[in-house]
Each structure stands twice: as structure tokens, then as C-alpha cells.
Amino acid sequence: MGDEDWEAEIIKPHMSSYVPVFEKDRYSSGAHGDTFNRTLASLSEMDDGYSRRDHFMRSRFASGRSLGNRDPGESNKRENTSTMGDFGVGRSFGNRGFSNNKFEEGDSCGFWRESSNDREDNQTRNRGFSKRDGYQDGNDSEASGSFRRSGRGSYRGCRGGFGLGSPNSKYEQDEGTQRSGGIFGSRRSALSGVGKGDAYQSRSGSGSGRGGYKGLNEEVITASGKNSWKSEAERRESGDTQGPKVTYIPPPPPEDEDSIFAHYQTGINFDKYDTILVEVSGHDVPPAILTFEEANLCQTLNSNIAKAGYTKLTPVQKYSIPIVLGGRDLMACAQTGSGKTAAFLLPILAHMMRDGVTASRFKELQEPECIIVAPTRELISQIYLEARKFSFGTCVRAVVIYGGTQLGHSIRQIVQGCNILCATPGRLMDIIGKEKIGLRQVKYIVLDEADRMLDMGFGPEMKKLISCPGMPSKEQRQTLMFSATFPEEIQRLAGEFLKSNYLFVAVGQVGGACRDVQQTILQVGQYSKREKLVEILRNIGDERTMVFVETKKKADFIATFLCQEKISTTSIHGDREQREREQALGDFRCGKCPVLVATSVAARGLDIENVQHVINFDLPSTTDEYVHRIGRTGRCGNTGRAISFFDTESDNHLAQPLVKVLSDAQQDVPAWLEEIAFSMYVPGFSGSTRGNVFVSIDTRKNYQGKSSLNAAGFSSSQAPNPVDDESWD
Ligand SMILES: Nc1ncnc2c1ncn2[C@@H]1O[C@H](COP(=O)(O)OP(=O)(O)OP(=O)(O)O)[C@@H](O)[C@H]1O
């Protein structure tokens, strides 16, 4: 297909109009006074650590087995071009399968014409994996949100309907004229494809509620010509622009207990979490707990934990829960899918139950005790569902608000009572600006995906949040930060939000990639990617697969293309209306569309049952993004697979960091990749400080040196000044 054709392909007129029915050891971490604790939960972990290093050395210097060497003889073969259902050709999908050159690049056509401003990645590609400084656009905004999740604590099922909440007179004043999208539908042109009887419609449109997640090249330029940190969608909602008003009201989640406590099973590797190396640094580290009982939670909470199917703590929970219960500030870094959400929700709820919160009741100005922020709408919705699950049967009321939905709806949710406010940053600041939320009672601020929340995209909003009138100072509140990745420069910025004696918990393995995810890198040229993708998907069959691409346009294009290939596919990206995004996620969750093509908007946090494969059609530009993306599979002790297409024309600069991530996670490193990595050798490259043992290290060590840290901990005077490195405004 020629360059000029791809747009046409997207809007093929014969396609049916698509209405996406997306559904979708007694861890004495040391006695008081210890400042640095490292726990080896078992001796085997020690062995493991050594073997891992050994493995790394071997993989670096031995030629190794190539997992994806190109075989020109095979390259032109297209083995499974049959229609949907013709999957399972009897070959293994594991390494063997790949080394068999079955998934090799061909010479099929496939031009990508990408506008440079279509990227949704957090970083530009040419930065390379290891470079983390100063990324994000100035107006990256929150992205997605949905009330649905089929994983733990969420309800499942396809949802085709949209909540058509009746506009409330008073709060409708905030909305202005409803112009497009939302409950009245969009005027966007639908483009469609067909897959398994379902049509695919996608494409960014001009409808209200779209957007909300802006990548580096989606900057919004303000009248003054300066980049605005606020997204276009949020500015619309707050009336900053004349753009279409957002009218979408998300459907309420099911209220029945079964739905609230729906969860998926922990996987075969869940018990292996016990062997993960944990490091806690800072002063006076409270001892870790081994069981939920040791947390001394109230009966209702314990009952909810049991109903949620939690019987055993994950490492991040073992360490974080006592720290939060002890009133300490915390920065916690643990691998994807290892239960960070409960690690902050449970102790916060326990405190609320202990202290007694004001029972929810209608009030024009609500004063929540806890504010939780996350970078995407879908993620914050998911966190809300977890909060609702764990607070079930208590007087604590959780509320979620996010962009792309009607502002009046958010306000209506809040005024009914709000103890825990789950919000995306833009909507949160709007609501605070409208004086529907008072901050005086705030005792807990949680930044999930904290590195993302503090980067240049959201950092300014977070800074505004903590500077809002009424917001208790950091000494008077508890601030908690969680992520699977924590670049050092972002950790330094975090100091402004945290008390100087905050604790740092690092759980996990080298490089941060979850070891339960089998990673495979295939050499695939740009023009062969589509063919390879189809080949892989046909082999996968109906197993849930997320396909990550670099740009929103490409997400549309690939989703349409797959539908044409009769592979039931949906897509999620920042140019889709919120309603469409939620439906897409719902369709993916319930298995109606087993393939979800996504941009970076879906890379973080999403906990979707049974995602067995992640395919990086395009490699992301940073290791952190890679780690988060592949972390959508292999969650909670389950296993998963990640396949990444490596284009030697454009990805060679990623070879070195990629080799490191693979080695650190004890994955096979293809010989060809090592060769490229060596050829691209950059003196001094270390693959970042995350390389050796832990997911992330406490950067305070870099300021003081490890020994002094062990001996003396930190003092505020030694804490980094976050504003030194980066301009926030
Ligand atoms: N102790 C536990 N027992 C059983 N299941 C658990 C436990 N803790 C968490 N889970 C489940 O594990 C899954 C992953 O948890 P969660 O989404 O909190 O991971 P995470 O560490 O925040 O991941 P990410 O880094 O991708 O955001 C969820 O379905 C959650 O309900």
C-alpha cells in the first residue's frame, strides 16, 4: 500500500458504520533507628541474585541464541492469511516458535505516514530508552477513565450502553451548550472496519470529550504562544476556550456485591513474590508485616479483603502498609501488577475507620480526607473501584472525577458526599477552582504512577495542588507515592511533596520488568510489521492481546486493518471520545474484542484480567514506558508474554537499554540485538541506576553515599531541592 493510500484505507466506504460496543522472614526491616534495611526473604533469592548477574554476564558476552534472526527465505511467506478463527497452526508461541523464524519479517507493504504531531508517547523516540530527563510535553493531560474493569474489585461484562444521566439544572450551568459527542453522539465521520461481525470505528474526531492525553507533540499552544500544561479537553471543560462542551456522563458501575468484589485469580507465581528482594531506606523503618491479621485492620476491612480474594500480602503491601499505618510519608517502587493499589488504600481506610470520618452527606462544599491522583482516566476509575470495594459497608464514600466527562456530573458526585476523591489532575483543579472541594481536611495525598504525576506534564498541576489555599502543609498531611518506575530526577522533584523523613521502599528486580512476562524481541522492518502482527495474532487466537503503537493515527489504522483481517479489534487513544474509550476498554475486558490497539495512554496501571500478550508494534522511547507497557500482562503472579518489533532502521539506539532490561529480567537476549547494542556502544552507558538489583534506588543515597545513608539517614538539609533541576512553570 502506498503512502497516499493509508488514509483511504482507514475510511474505506464499504465498511459498515461502527458502533464500538467496547465493553471491554519476619521482616524486621530493622529495629527502630535503622536507616537502611535490605531483606532477603529467602536464601534462594540470594542465589537468584547471583545467578541473575551471572546470566547477565553470559548474555552480554556469549553469542547466545537469536530469537528472531531474519531468514530471508521465510520473510515473504505469509502463513496464515485466512480469516478469523484460523489460528493455532500448531507451533509453539514461545521462544522456540520465534527462533523457528516463523515470526519473521516479510516484505509486505505498509507505509506509515505519520504526522509528527500525532505521537502520544511520553517521549520522543530519539531520546532512547535510558534518557529520562525532562520528558513530557507541557500539556500532557490526563487520559482515560472508565468504570469498568474485569479484574479485581471491578465488574465485568460488555457494556454497550452509556449512562444518560439527566442533567441537573444547577450544575448544568457549568456545562454550557452541548454541541457534539457525548450523549447526543458525535458528528465525527465514522470509519469502520469489520472484525468478527463487529465493526470498528475509530478515528479521532472533533467530538467533545476526546483527547485528554496529550503526548509530546500534542502540545497546546496558548494565546500567548506559550505551551500550556493544561490539556485542551480540560481547558474546554473549565471554559477556557470556545470549544465544544463535554456532555458525556459515564454509566454508573454496578452496585451489587458480586460485581464490586469480582476479581481474577492470582497466578502460579504469586507465591514467588515472597522471594523478591526488598529494600527500605530512611529513618525508623517500621517492621514489615507478614499477614493481613498483623495489620490489625477493623472487621469490615478484613471482611472486604477476604471477599476480594486476598489471602496473602504481596511484598509491597507487607512493607508499605505498616509504614502508612505508622503515619509516615512513602515513596514505593514495585513491579507492575504487584498490588500497589491496595498497599495505599488499605492503611488509609484503616486510619479513616480508626479516626472516624464525617459520614457522607449532601453538602455544597465537600472536604475529603484523601485525594488520590493518577494520570489517566481509566486508571483513576480503576483505583476508584478498588476504593469502593475496600470501603464497602463503611461510611467512607469514594468518588471519582475525570476529564472527558460532564463537569456537572463530577460535581453532582462530589456534593453527595466525598471522603476519598479519586481524580485526574485537570478535573481536580477545575473542581477545586469551582469551590466544590475544600482542602482543609486533607490528610492523605496519593500520587499513583508518581513518576508520571511529577514529570513535566503533570508536575505543575501537582505543584499547584499542594499550594492550593487550605491545603495542609506536607508536615500536616501524609503524602504517598507509588510507581513501578521512579527515575532519579523525578525522585528529586518528589522531595518537595514529601516530609524529609519519608521512607523509600523498593521491591522487585533489576530493570523493573516483571519476570513473569516472557519478553521476545523480533527484528521486523517497518514495512513488514503489519504482516507479522497478523501472523502473530492468528497464532494467538482469542487470547487477549494489547498492541502498542506510537501514534494515535497509527492506532486507528492498525485497528482498522486488523478488523479488515477479521481479527476483532478495538482501540484506545487520546483522540477518541471518552465514551468510545470506555466502550473500547469494556469490549476488550469482556473479550468481545480480544485485541486492543493502544497508545501510551493505556501503558500504565490498567489491570485487565487475562491479558496474555502485549505486542510492541512500535517500541516506546524509554525503558520506563516499556516496563509499564509489558506490565499489562503477567500480573498478580500470572504469566504473560511480550513481543516487541525491533526495526533496525530506526530502533538501533534502543538496543543497549533493551539488552539491559532483558538481561535484568533474566530473559534471553537475541545475539543480533547484542551485536547491535555493542555496535551502538556508548561509553559510560549504565542503563540508568536501576540496573543492578532494585527496580529503583533511593536517590538520597546518591547525595550522601550509601554508607552515610545507612548510618545516618537523611536530614532535610540534605534532601534534594526539586526545583533546582527543572523549571516547573
Ligand atoms: N494481596 C493480594 N492478593 C490477591 N490479589 C491481589 C493482592 N494485592 C493485589 N491483588 C490484585 O493484583 C492485581 C494487580 O494489583 P494492582 O493493580 O494494585 O497492581 P499495581 O502494582 O498497582 O500495578 P501497576 O504497576 O501496573 O499499576 C489486582 O487485580 C489486585 O486486585
In angstroms, the CA 119 to CA 213 distance is 11
Q: How far, CA to CA in Å, does 246 sit from each of 170, 436, 561?
A: 16, 19, 30
Give the nearest ligand 1 atom to 484 CA.
25
Give the nearest ligand 1 atom to 309 CA.
4
* C-alpha 636 – ligand 1 centre gap (Å): 6
In angstroms, the CA 712 to CA 717 distance is 13
Q: Report which residue type is found at 446.
A: V
In angstroms, the CA 628 to CA 484 distance is 7
* C-alpha 79 – ligand 1 centre gap (Å): 38
Cell of 572: 484506545
Give the nearest ligand 1 atom to 316 CA.
21
The neighbour count for residue 438, using CB atoms within 10 Å, is 17
Q: How far, CA to CA in Å, does 72 sit from each of 39, 528, 534?
A: 50, 12, 19
The number of angstroms, rounded, from the C-alpha of 71 to the middle of its chain's C-alpha atoms is 35
* C-alpha 104 – ligand 1 centre gap (Å): 35
* C-alpha 532 – ligand 1 centre gap (Å): 32
Instruction: State the number of CA atoms in the 13 A half-sphere of 459 facing the CB.
Output: 26
Q: 357: Cβ–Cβ under 8 A, 6 or more apart, which residues?
A: 369, 395, 396, 419
Question: Do the bridges between strand 420-423 and strand 544-548 make them parallel or antiparallel, or are there none, so unpaired?
Answer: unpaired
Closest residue by CA, ligand 1 atom 20 = 337
Are 200 and 567 in contact by the 8 Å Cβ rule? The answer is: no
Closest residue by CA, ligand 1 atom 29 = 152
| Substitution site in 291, 294, 341 for ligand 1 pocket (most atoms within 8 Å of beta carbon) | 341
DSSP per residue over 479-531, as a string? Answer: EEEEES---HHHHHHHTTTS-TT-EEEEES-GGG--TTEEEEEEE--GGGHHH
* C-alpha 710 – ligand 1 centre gap (Å): 31
Average pLDDT across each block of 10 residues of the chain; the chain has 729 residues. List them in order: 30 31 33 38 31 34 32 35 30 33 34 41 40 34 39 40 36 38 31 38 41 34 34 41 78 95 92 91 96 97 98 97 98 95 98 84 92 98 98 96 97 96 97 95 97 94 97 98 92 93 83 84 98 98 97 97 98 96 97 97 96 98 95 95 97 94 93 94 51 48 37 24 24
* C-alpha 666 – ligand 1 centre gap (Å): 22
Q: Is the entire prediction scored with pTM above 0.80?
A: no
pLDDT for the residue 245: 83
Q: What's the DSSP call for residue 474?
A: T
| Substitution site in 340, 344, 451 for ligand 1 pocket (most atoms within 8 Å of beta carbon) | 340
* C-alpha 171 – ligand 1 centre gap (Å): 36
In this structure, the residues whose C-beta lies within 6 A of any atom of ligand 1 are 151-153, 263, 266, 309-310, 312-314, 317, 334, 336-342, 484, 605, 607, 631, 635-636
ipTM: 0.99
H/E run at residue 507? strand 503-507
* C-alpha 108 – ligand 1 centre gap (Å): 40
Closest residue by CA, ligand 1 atom 23 = 337
- Residue 60 exposed, middle or buried by CB count within 10 Å (0-12, 13-18, 19+): middle
DSSP per residue over 343-373, as a string? Answer: HHHHHHHHHHHHH-PPPP---SSB--SEEEE
pLDDT for the residue 513: 85
